[in-house]
């Protein structure tokens, strides 16, 4: 069992938990995810790691209530436990394999949308701990839905906050801030890492393509079981079929076919849609576990 050491509700429908999982905490890297299960029969829920403390043996997860399982999960309190907490899964962010000297010269921009702020945080923190200061844009619908502001402020080079309704700091979507920084403030970036809702990652990628900024996105939102077996997270990256949970979750945002991924995500929700996808995609419908070719 994996004990919940802290359970908070930082914003409406958004929950943060510190979970005792020493083995995951020892081995995880920024960009990876875990799969949690509340009990034996519970749904498998893939969640990107928000923070980890190797010494304390804890993992921080942040989730939004979207369906029955996450609503049930939100009722868990400090002292309760998860029956399963599997990880770390997926590939770590490519940044962590780069040579530190060249990383220090890189002008890095993170774009975090809503709950996507949680998976951005460990990457910015990892860089900060190694002396790399990255710019971070955080977008939220309104002030009340903004999360991890203080935490992000402590590790970002520059933090730009924007709200859709202008209730806090800048007004407008994250794409407006990117344009403003690059076109009006003369900022130059070598790479952009955008994590948030699919629609945000699509429009950030379209914009950064125009601005010639290589962009990485995290396709966690299309995952279902996180094992490579269900076929839910199949997507096209350039001309290649990929699976977010096995090959990702991070991909080149300029190559991801977001329209196809979003359409497929809708189709996958119904039994009829899944049957049709299985028929159309044949042997490439699911990705296997990633270890069996
Ligand atoms: P949201 O809808 O509140 O959007 C967050 C911000 O994204 C907005 O404030 C805006 O700045 C930007 N945005 C939204 N639509 C945009 C558009 N059309 N163009 C430009 N910018 C746009 O976000 P939310 O409700 O917190 O997000 C929930 C989603 O985030 C879920 O779908 C979840 O799956 C996803 N999510 C993704 C990851 C990941 O790894 N990619 C991780 C956690 C959550
Ligand atoms: Fe099921 Fe990736 S989430 S195959």
**96-124: per-residue pLDDT in tens?**
999 999 999 999 999 999 999 999 999 99
Segments forming the whole domain that contains residue 115: 99-218
Helices (H), the chain: 22-27, 68-74, 100-105, 117-129, 149-155, 174-179, 198-210, 244-247, 258-267, 271-281
Domain boundary, last residue among 194, 218, 242: 218
Does residue 123 sit in the same domain as residue 162? yes
Kindly give the distance from the C-alpha atom of residue 226 to the centroid of ligand 2, in angstroms, as a whole number.
Answer: 5
- Is residue 172 pLDDT above 80, yes or no? yes
Select from 145, 117, 121 the least CA-distant residue to 51: 121
pTM over 0.75: yes
Domain for residue 179, yes or no?
yes
Q: Domains in the chain: how many in total?
A: 3
Q: What is the pLDDT of residues 220-252, one digit of tens each?
A: 989 888 888 888 899 999 999 999 998 989 999
Q: Which atom of ligand 2 is found nearest the CA of 46?
A: 3
The atom number, within ligand 2, closest to the CA of 230 reads 1
In this structure, is residue 187 part of a structural domain?
A: yes
Does residue 249 have a cis bond before it (omega within 30 degrees)? yes
Closest C-alpha residue for ligand 2 atom 4: 228
Pair 153, 146: CB distance under 8 Å: no
Query: Given a cut of 80, is residue 287 above it in pLDDT?
Result: no
Question: Residue 24 — pLDDT band, cuts 50, 70, 90?
Answer: very high
In the predicted model, what is the mean pLDDT of residues 185-192? 97
Q: Which DSSP letter does residue 239 get?
A: T
Share above pLDDT 70 across residues of the chain, in percent, rounded to a whole number: 98
Q: Which of 200, 218, 236 is the last residue of a domain?
A: 218
**Is 290 a member of any domain?**
yes
In a domain, 66, yes or no: yes
Q: Is residue 155 part of a domain?
A: yes
Q: 279 by DSSP, 3-state: which?
A: helix
Q: Where a domain ends, among 89, 121, 141?
A: 89
| Ligand closest to CA 245 | 2
Name the band, by pLDDT with cuts 50, 70 and 90, for residue 133: very high
Q: Are residues 77 and 107 in the same domain?
A: no
Residues 182 and 255 in one domain: no
**Ligand 2 proximity of 249 Cβ (cutoff 6 Å):** no
94 within domain boundaries: no
Question: Are 184 and 133 contained in the same domain?
Answer: yes
Q: Which pLDDT value is given to residue 271?
A: 83
């Amino acid at each position: 069992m994996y004990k919940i050491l802290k359970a908070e509700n930082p914003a409406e429908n958004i929950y943060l938990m510190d979970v005792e999982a020493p083995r995951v905490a020892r081995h995880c890297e920024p960009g990876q995810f875990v799969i949690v299960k509340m009990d034996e029969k519970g749904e498998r829920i893939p969640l990107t790691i928000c923070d980890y403390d190797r010494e304390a043996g804890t993992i921080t997860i942040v989730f939004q209530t979207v369906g029955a399982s996450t609503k049930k999960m939100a009722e868990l309190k400090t002292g309760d436990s998860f029956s399963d907490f599997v990880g770390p899964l997926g590939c770590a962010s490519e940044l962590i394999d780069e040579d530190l000297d060249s990383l220090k010269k890189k002008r890095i921009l993170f774009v975090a949308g809503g709950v996507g702020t949680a998976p951005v945080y460990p990457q910015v923190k990892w860089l900060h701990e190694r002396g790399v200061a990255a710019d971070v844009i955080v977008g939220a619908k309104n002030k009340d839905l903004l999360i991890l502001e203080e935490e992000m402020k402590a590790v970002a080079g520059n933090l730009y906050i924007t709200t859709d309704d202008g209730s806090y700091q800048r007004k407008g979507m994250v794409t407006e801030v990117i344009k403003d920084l690059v076109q009006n403030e003369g900022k130059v970036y070598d790479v952009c890492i955008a994590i948030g809702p699919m629609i945000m990652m699509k429009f950030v990628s379209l914009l950064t393509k125009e601005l010639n900024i290589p962009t990485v996105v995290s396709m966690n939102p299309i995952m279902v079981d996180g094992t490579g077996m269900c076929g839910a997270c199949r997507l096209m990256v350039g001309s290649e079929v990929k699976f977010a949970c096995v090959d990702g979750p991070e991909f080149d945002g300029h190559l991801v076919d977001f329209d196809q991924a979003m359409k497929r995500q809708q189709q996958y929700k119904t039994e009829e849609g899944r049957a049709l996808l299985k028929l159309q995609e044949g042997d490439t419908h699911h990705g296997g576990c990633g270890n069996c070719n």
